[in-house]
Amino acid sequence: MAGWTKADYDANYRYHVERRMPGGGPPPADNRPGVVIRYHRLFMQPILVSMWAKLQPILNILATDDVCVVGAGFGWGVEAVISETGATVVGIDISDYIAAEQSSTEETELRAEVAAVGLDPDTGRGLEVMSFIYDAQPRSNVIVLQEDAKNNQSRQRIRSALGGSWPSVVVYENIVDDTWTDTDIINARNAGNGFGGSQRLIWIYKQTPSRSYQDLFDLLPSGSEVISTDGQVYI
């Protein structure tokens, strides 16, 4: 299916680790670069937990809902939705990288980031950093299917993962950016609307200079909900 590659994720996420460690501060006086991580749990999960803590009181997804999160990545947002709502939730993502790495740990990538700044991941400061950033858990602890919901077979596999129920809520988890055309958005909306046509379609969105919240809302057919990532805009 392709989707985003590891290079795409690396280009879009960058988190300076040592500034946030206990006793953090700037890199040592030898002026070496600080350790950064990319699309990793330590960086992303708190962002998604905070986002869903703000959104849930507005969206009021019910514990009885069956939820499909589109563009779920490794499912850290799915974990946050489950925690906030108690609903049954599965994620979908078309990325080959996500599908291939779900059951692996982050160790190899994190060790590479530590080594990239000249530290040994097994001793001294390098080991301290590794102890802070690596939890030895699989990347995905929830269900994330490599599906696009564009045909009945794909939708049936999503339904099966939800225990035989069609989604009552479909959440597009901040996946629209300036690379998306109007046609891409409508195609994604139509795929989500293929689950019988009676579910809520919620677009979590961070507007760009090219497409405002209102622009996205006006593009979508009636019945779609658009909300900002911080919960300040709800259309």
The enclosing domain of 149 has a CATH number of 3.40.50.150
pLDDT at residue 1, as a whole number: 72
Number of domains in the chain: 2
- Predicted pLDDT at 89: 98
Q: Output helix, strand, coil percentages for the chain, rounded to the nearest 5.
A: 40, 15, 45
pTM: 0.94
CA dist 232 and 66 (Å) reads 25
Asked if residue 163 and residue 63 are part of one domain, the reply reads: yes
What is the distance between the alpha carbons of residues 17 and 15, in angstroms, rounded to a whole number? 6
Q: Are residues 32 and 47 in the same domain?
A: no
Q: Which residues of the chain are under the pLDDT cut of 50?
A: none
Give residue 23's pLDDT.
Answer: 78
Residues 151, 93 share a domain: yes
